[in-house]
Amino acid sequence: GENVEQHPSTLSVQEGDSAVIKCTYSDSASNYFPWYKQELGKRPQLIIDIRSNVGEKKDQRIAVTLNKTAKHFSLHITETQPEDSAVYFCAVDTGRRALTFGSGTRLQVQP
């Protein structure tokens, strides 16, 4: 089945800095790549997603890039704020099964 690796497991940045989280996957048939944010005690919620026919997508301070050849995609958060502190999960969908998630990154933004 699909294998998704996510790095780093923890990330601490100063407020205003950028944060980058990277994921690699194994199944070349994967075609949908969402990112979820989970705040403490809450359910995961989608923050941005990208499909395989697009290389980059941006939504205000958040962007995702996809390199299908290398089978990796990344989440970029610019001008980080304390409310960005959460656990972030990447996920991969081949369309044949369920979403396969990475192991998560705990982002801490220091004020």
10 Å CB burial of residue 79 (0-12, 13-18, 19+) is exposed
Q: Residue 77 has which token pair?
A: 């958060």
Nearer to another protein, 18 or 103 (CB): 103
By CB under 8 A, tell whether 6 contacts another protein: yes
Contacts of 111 (CB under 8 A, 6+ apart): 15, 82
Nearer to another protein, 54 or 98 (CB): 98
By CB under 8 A, tell whether 102 contacts another protein: yes
The residues in 34-93 that bind another protein, with binding defined as CB under 8 A, are 34, 42-46, 49, 89, 91, 93
